[in-house]
Amino acid sequence: TERTLVLIKPDGVARRHVGEILSRIERKGLNIVALELRTATEEVAGAHYAEHEGKPFYPGLIEFITGSPLVAAVLEGPRAIAAFRQLAGGTDPVEKAVPGSIRGDLGLDAGENLVHGSDSVESAEREIALWFPELASV
């Protein structure tokens, strides 16, 4: 079994898609082991997106992520990391995400793309420790 860190980004909360997205997660069979509505601090957002620092979209991304409440969650299940990324669809909701996925069905914008999911076991460990330090395994 695996754990993954998922965010329902501020656009997903503002557009009232929290129930829809959690419903898709539950229908897939993933377990929710942590779930909280919160406003991300600059510190947590900066650490979460450290790999994108210096890119042209970075300042806007941090402003967006910290600008209004999001839902942070930890999901657990067999191949949870890949399973959630399949539910989410590709980063660009129009060019990459297929219909049937969260982004493919609900999104238009490459930046405000509704959800985040960890992309590897290493990222999941790092991100769970960042968002839910009380759940971190090491």
Q: Which residues bind ligand ATP (CB under 6 A)?
A: 52, 57, 61, 91, 110-111, 113, 116-117, 119
Question: Is there a contact between 66 and 40 (Cβ–Cβ < 8 Å)?
Answer: yes
Q: Catalytic site residue 116?
A: yes
Cβ 74 to ligand ATP shortest distance, Å = 15
Strands, E, within 15-128: which ranges? 31-38, 70-77, 115-117
Residue 58 C-beta: closest distance to ligand ATP, Å: 8
Q: Using DSSP, state whether 76 is helix, strand or coil.
A: strand
Q: What angle do CA 90, 93, 98 make, to 5 degrees?
A: 65
CB of 49 to ligand ATP, least distance (A): 7
Which residue among the candidates 17, 48, 52, 116 is catalytic per the annotation? 116
So which residues are the catalytic ones?
A: 116
